[in-house]
Structure 1
C-alpha cells in the first residue's frame, strides 16, 4: 500500500508475517525518516528491527511527543524554524501522512469509519456516504467506530458554530453525523452496557438506510479502563467481536491522511493478523465538496511530528505481534 513515496506494510488478504515484517522495515528504515531523525540530532539506532523500533520510540518520545499523555487538542505546538518546518512537511508527505489517495477498488466486505475529534467525525462519515453513493459497495456493513470520550470545549464550540445539536461525547457526534448524512431518524436495533465507569461502557446502534448497507455506530470500551479511554485499536477489536470477519474479506478503513500510517498498522495488528482479512486505509479528501461539512483545520509541522511518532509506535506494536 503506497500513499506517499514510501510504501506502508501490505494489507492484502493472506499477507504472510514475513512480508508484513519486511513492510514495517521498509517504512521504518526509509530515507525520509532517517533524514528527519538526523535533523533533530539523533543517531540511527543499531541492532535488529526490534531494536531500531525501540530506539525510534525512545527518540520520538524525547523530541516529537507534544501530547505528554494529553488528548490531541491539548498538545503543545513546538517552535520550529522555517527550514525545520519544511523538512518535517516533506518527510510527512513522503511517509504517507499528507496526500489523500482514493480507494483502490469499489467492492469491499466492510467499510469502517474511525472516530476522532468532532470535525473529523463529521468529515469521515460524510466521506463514507460519498463513497457509497459514488458506487462503492460493502456486502457487509458500514461500521462507525468511536468511544465515550468527552468532547473538549473547542469541539463543542465547533459544533455550535456549525449549527449542529449539542453533543457530549465522540460517539454522540458520530451518531448525529450518521442520522443527518444518511437520512435515518432512529436506529433499527440498539444495545448498550452501562458500567461503573464510561471507559468500561459500550453501545451499539444499527441504522438501515434505504438502498445502502446497514450502518452500525459503536462506542467501544477500553481494554485498560482503569488507565485510559478506548483508543483506535480497542475500537477495531471491539468491532471485530460484533461482525463475522472471514479470511479474504477486504475491509476499507476511512480516517484522515495524517493518521493513515498509524491506524493502518493498528488494523493490521487487530484485524488482519487474527482474522486473515485484508486492510486498505484511506484518508478523506477535503477537496470534495460533499465532505466539507466543517472547515478543515490547519495541520502544523508539530502535528505531523506527533503522528510520525504515532506511526512508529504502531509499527513497533505490529512488529511485536508478528
Structure 2
C-alpha cells in the first residue's frame, strides 16, 4: 500500500501526540487523515490524480489541487467567498466526505478536566456560540485548573456580522474581540475585568489587548486580542492568537488543553494548535466543535453550511496539516 493510501472504509483520525511532541505519532496521524479513503474519493470526483511520493509530496500535491478546485475565497474573508453550484450527487459527496473527516458532527470532550480551556474566535455569530458552549461545559462539570482563554483579534466586523449580532440581541460591537468580550460578560455573568492590559498601535494588525475576568466560583477567563504575525500583509489569524496566548500563560509539558471551535473548523484549527502549542511546549491538544442543538445555545445565530464552505475548509485542513508536517522537520 502506497504512502498516503488507506484501506477503504478507514475512518479519518486527526493527528495527536502522546506528549504533544511525539513527532512519529503526529506524522502517522497526518498520514492517516490525509490518506483516508473519503478524501481520495473526493479528489478523484473532481478529476484529480492522487499525488505520488511520501507524505510531504502528497500534502504539496493536495495543496496545489485544492487551490485550483476548492479555493472560493481568493484571499477574501470567509463571508465573502463565492458559493459554487454543484449537482446533487457532487453536493452529497462533499457533505459525506466532510462528515467522514470529522467536520460535521460535534464530539463531547473526552476528559473530565483540563489544564486550560481555549475558545477560538471567528465570525461574530460564532464568537457568541463558542463562548456560550465554553460556559455550558463548565456548568456541566468540566474541571479547569488553569484558565479559560478566549482568543481573537481587532478584526473589524462586517455589516453582515453587525446584523447577526443585532438579531441575537447582542449590544453593538465593532471588532471580533469586542464580540467575544460581550459574550464573556453575558455567559459568565461578569461586568468588569480584574486585569486590563494592552497596546493601541492605531492599527488592528499591530494592536493587542488582554482582559482577565474572575467569575465567582470558576476559573479566570482571559479575553485576548492578538497582533498579526505578519502585520504588513494580513490580520491576525488562528495560529497568531494561539502563539500570543502561549506567551501569556505558563504551559507545561503534558498539560491537557481543550480547544473549542465549530465542527467545520476542527481539523485545521486542531492541527494549527499542534504546530503552535503542542510541538513547542509539549502540551496535549484536544479540539471539539460546538453542538448547536444544545438548549444553552438557543437563540444564537447559526449559519448555513454549504458544500462550498466544506470544500474550502477541507483545503484549510490540508494546508494546516502541511504546515504541521513541515514544523516537525
TM over 0.5: yes
The structural deviation recorded for 1:12 is 3.8
**CA RMSD across the alignment:** 1.0
How many residue pairs match? The answer is 319
Query: Closer, same or farther in 2 for the Cα pair 1:282/1:11, shift >3 Å?
Result: farther
Indicate whether 1:36 and 2:42 are aligned. Answer: yes
Indicate whether 1:78 and 2:84 are aligned. Answer: yes
Contact 1:11 1:280 in 2 (8 A): no
Distance of 1:301 and 1:42 partners within structure 2? 18
Distance of 2:291 and 2:159 partners within structure 1? 26
The structural deviation recorded for 1:198 is 1.3
- Any unmatched runs of 5+ in structure 2? 1-9
Q: TM-score, normalised by structure 2?
A: 0.95
Q: TM-score, normalised by structure 1?
A: 0.97
The structural deviation recorded for 1:195 is 1.5
Q: 1:230 aligns with which of 229, 236, 248?
A: 236
Q: 2:174 aligns with which of 168, 171, 184?
A: 168
Q: Deviations over 1:21-62 (max 9, x none)?
A: 111011011100000000000011111111111110010000
The structural deviation recorded for 1:113 is 0.1
Distance of 2:250 and 2:63 partners within structure 1? 34
Q: 1:271 aligns with which of 264, 273, 277?
A: 277
Indicate whether 1:285 and 2:304 are aligned. Answer: no
Contact 2:17 2:23 in 1 (8 A): no
The structural deviation recorded for 1:291 is 1.8
After TM superposition, what 4+ stretches of structure 1 lie above 3 angstroms from structure 2?
Answer: none
Indicate whether 1:61 and 2:79 are aligned. Answer: no
Distance of 1:52 and 1:223 partners within structure 2? 27
Distance of 1:282 and 1:76 partners within structure 2? 27
Q: 1:206 aligns with which of 209, 212, 227?
A: 212
Distance of 2:213 and 2:90 partners within structure 1? 47
Distance of 1:23 and 1:200 partners within structure 2? 35
Distance of 1:304 and 1:126 partners within structure 2? 24
Q: Deviations over 1:173-201 (max 9, x none)?
A: 00000001111001000001111421011
Moved more, 297-306 or 287-296: 287-296
SS of the residue corresponding to residue 200 of structure 1 reads coil
> Residue 5 of structure 2 corresponds to which residue in structure 1?
none
Contact 2:20 2:285 in 1 (8 A): no
The structural deviation recorded for 1:292 is 2.6
- Any unmatched runs of 5+ in structure 1? none
> Residue 30 of structure 2 corresponds to which residue in structure 1?
24
Distance of 1:292 and 1:100 partners within structure 2? 16
Indicate whether 1:6 and 2:17 are aligned. Answer: no
